[in-house]
Amino acid sequence: MHIANIMFSRGLGGIEQAFIDYAEALSRQNVKVTNFIYPKAQVKAGLENLNLDIIEINNLGNWDPLARFKIKKHLKKIRPDAIIAHGIRAVVLTQKAAKQINIPIIGVTHNYSVKRLIGLDAIFATTNDLKNQVTAHGQKPESVFIIPNMVRIKNPEPEIFIGYRAPPVIGTMGRMVKKKGFDIFINALAILNNESIEFKALIGGAGEEETSLKQQVAMFGLQDKITFPGWIKDKATFFNEIDIFCLPSIHEPFGIILLEAMAHGKPVITTNSEGPAEITTDGKDVFMVNKNDNVELANSLKKLIATPNLSYGLIKSAYHTAQNYSIDKIGQKMAEVVDKITSAKVI
């Protein structure tokens, strides 16, 4: 089987990580993967590390006719069995060419902007909630498949819990945009500080909210407790430097970083945003709090800090949850579904 894996964003966030994961997961299943990307996109290095084929297509937007021509030319040359398109630009630029040369195109629901995906040959929804969204917009249910995001499981199952640092280090990371809830996280830490609870915190990432978040930290006088290490390239080191991971998102379609924290053996506090509420269970593998509730978040942090023995049960259960989303397990499922689609057994 040969798959064209296509995405034209330039940055390196959750969607881009999923794009690389798709390429690796399929290649591990002995599927040939050719990746179409924007020239010098940040995902290029990750693909090169995997020794995967890359085709760079410059484009000026969703409706660039020259880019469409180049995509069609390359598709006719390599003749993949199917196309997996990540993001609206990849779908729009590729859809017409795929139809003209009779290659099925599969869209991926990385977020809730799903209207442009409706009518594709198939859709991979990362959660049941997203599947419901695309079927509500008119996609045939039989052409929608649950393919969650995935995680690399490298760490052995935790056998003991050695406790927290003194003081414990609380970490979070992601794109610094409003929906990630980092301002709520800082408000919760301010509550801990006002109650004389000792801690350190790392907020990894970058984005449009970075300046205002640093101003918020300064306003609370927390500069000596909260550090901004910038965009995290080495996640393993980040997780080794923290004791508790927090995902304070107001809106989180899936939450790859949540799975990564669980796979690295960290106790996790998350909000009941869309993805985390579906893939985790409060009190079993995470502590779950209501979105936008800094007081509840602070109370959960206080509980974990005051009773560190609670962490071991969460960590052990979370590790087993993360196993369900391993890159090999999801890759096998994905390859089987693509085989059905290309064999016209489904569509």
pLDDT by residue (tens digit) across 267-294? 999 999 999 999 999 999 999 999 999 9
What is the CATH classification number for the domain harbouring 258? 3.40.50.2000
Classify residue 337 as left (phi > 0), alpha (psi -120 to 50) or beta: alpha
pLDDT of residue 156: 75
Percent of the chain with pLDDT strictly greater than 90: 86
In-domain check, residue 157 = no
314 and 332 share one domain: no
343 — pLDDT class (breaks 50, 70, 90): confident
131 and 112 share one domain: yes
pLDDT of residue 347: 46
131 and 234 share one domain: no
Percent of the chain with pLDDT strictly greater than 70: 99
**Domain range enclosing 193:** 169-323
pLDDT of residue 153: 86
189 and 140 share one domain: no
Number of structural domains found in the chain: 2
46 — pLDDT class (breaks 50, 70, 90): very high
Q: What predicted TM-score, i.e. pTM, was given to this entire model?
A: 0.89
75 and 205 share one domain: no
pLDDT by residue (tens digit) across 166-213? 999 999 999 999 999 999 999 999 999 999 999 999 999 999 999 999
Instruction: Pick the more confident residue, 269 or 313.
Output: 269
Mean pLDDT of the chain: 93
Q: By the 8 A CB rule, do 112 and 98 touch?
A: no
Nearest in space to 82 (alpha carbons), one of 177, 170, 164, 1:
1
pLDDT of residue 346: 46
Q: What is the mean pLDDT of residues 119-123?
A: 95
204 and 108 share one domain: no
13 — pLDDT class (breaks 50, 70, 90): confident
In-domain check, residue 156 = no
In-domain check, residue 161 = no
In-domain check, residue 271 = yes
96 and 177 share one domain: no
**Residue 71: both structure tokens together:** 């995509």
193 and 178 share one domain: yes
Beta bridge partner(s), residue 33: 3
104 and 186 share one domain: no
Q: Is residue 345's pLDDT more than 70?
A: no
pLDDT by residue (tens digit) across 136-161? 999 999 999 999 999 988 777 777 77
Q: Is residue 62's pLDDT more than 90?
A: no
In-domain check, residue 162 = no
86 and 190 share one domain: no
pLDDT by residue (tens digit) across 249-258? 999 999 899 9
250 and 131 share one domain: no
28 and 142 share one domain: yes
pLDDT by residue (tens digit) across 65-96? 999 999 999 999 999 999 999 999 999 999 98
